[in-house]
Amino acid sequence: MSERINHNPDVLSCLANLSSDEVFTPPEVANAMLDMLPQELFRDPEAKFLDPACKSGIFLREIAKRLLEGLKDSIPDHQERIDHIFHKQLYGIAITELTSLLARRSLYCSKYANSIYSVTSFEETTGNIRFKRVEHTWGGDGKCKFCGASREQFDRGDKLETHAYEFIHNRNIKELEKVKFDLIIGNPPYQLDTDGAGKQAKPIYHLFVNQAKKLHPKYLSMITPSRWFTGGMGLDKYRNEMLSDKRIRQIVDYSMSTDCFPGVDIAGGVSFFLWDRDYKGNCLFTYKDGQTSTTLERTLDEYNVFVRDNRAIRIVQKIQAKTKESVGTNMSSLGPFGLGTAERGEIEPGANKYILLSSAGRSFINKTKITSGQQYINKWKVIIGKATSAGAATAGKDGLRKVIATLDILEPGAVCTFSYFVGGSFQIKQEAENFKSYISTKFARFLLLQCLASININKERFRFVPNQDYSKSWSDEELFQKYNLSEDEVNLIESMIKPYDGGSDE
Q: Which of 244, 177, 355, 161 is nearest to 153 (CA)?
A: 161
**By C-alpha distance, which of 294, 248, 295, 256 is closest to 275?**
248
- With residue 446 as reference, give the H or E element that holds it: helix 442-449
Alpha helices in 36-173 (DSSP H): 58-70, 78-88, 97-108, 151-154, 166-169
How would you classify the pairing of strands 202-203 and 191-192?
Answer: antiparallel
Whether the CA torsion 440, 446, 452, 455 is positive or negative: it is positive
Alpha-carbon dihedral sign for residues 157, 163, 168, 174:
positive
Q: What is the pLDDT of residue 506?
A: 37
Position 59 scores a pLDDT of 97
CATH domain 11-308 topology: Rossmann fold (3.40.50)
Q: Which residues contact 322 (CB under 8 A, 6 or more apart)?
A: 466, 482, 483
Q: What is the DSSP string of 337-399?
A: TS--TT---BSS--TTEEEEEETTEEEEEEGGG--S-HHHHTSEEEEEESBEETTTTS--TTS
List the Cα angle 216/222/227 in 5-degree steps: 120
* CA–CA dist 391, 256 (Å, integer): 10
Given this model, what pLDDT does residue 61 score? 97
3-class SS of residue 129: strand
CB atoms closer than 10 angstroms to residue 124: 10
CA distance 256 to 272: 13
The angle, 0 to 180 degrees and rounded to 10, between the axes of the packed helices 58-70 and 27-35 is: 50
The number of angstroms, rounded, from the C-alpha of 380 to the middle of its chain's C-alpha atoms is 36
How far apart are alpha carbons 263 and 21 in whole angstroms? 13
Residue type, position 30, single letter: A
At residue 397, the pLDDT reads 72
Euclidean distance between CA atoms 238 and 235, whole angstroms: 5
CA distance 18 to 375: 49
Please say whether the beta carbons of 189 and 168 come within 8 A.
no
Determine how many CB atoms are found less than 10 A away from the CB of residue 385. Answer: 17
Per-residue DSSP letter, 407: E
Pairing of strands 353-358, 414-416: parallel
> What does pTM read for this prediction?
0.83
- The Cα–Cα gap between 64 and 8 comes to 21
Block mean pLDDT (10 aa), the chain, length 506 = 43 48 87 98 98 95 97 97 97 92 94 94 94 90 89 80 87 80 96 61 92 96 93 87 97 93 88 98 94 93 88 94 92 94 92 93 95 96 84 67 92 96 97 97 95 84 95 96 96 93 52
User: How many residues does this entry show for the chain?
Assistant: 506
SS (H, E, C) 122-168: CCCCCCCEECCCCCCCECCCCEECCCCCEHHHHCCCCCCCCCCCHHH
- CA 256 to chain CA centroid, Å, is 10
211: enclosing H helix or E strand = helix 205-214
Looking at residue 503, its pLDDT comes to 47
Contact predicate 404/445, CB 8 Å: yes
Q: Which residue type sits at 1?
A: M
Percent of all residues in the chain with a pLDDT value above 90, rounded to a whole number: 71
Distance, CA of 88 to chain centre: 34
d(CA 428, CA 132): 65
CA atoms within 13 Å, Cβ hemisphere of 422: 29
What is the three-class DSSP state of 186? strand
pLDDT at 504: 42
Quote the CA–CA distance of 184 and 181 in Å, as a whole number.
Answer: 7
Taking the CA atoms of the chain, what radius of gyration do you get in angstroms? 26
- How confident is the model at residue 197, as a pLDDT? 43
Identify residue 148 by its one-letter amino acid code.
G
pLDDT at 443: 98
* CA 85/CA 43 separation, integer angstroms: 11
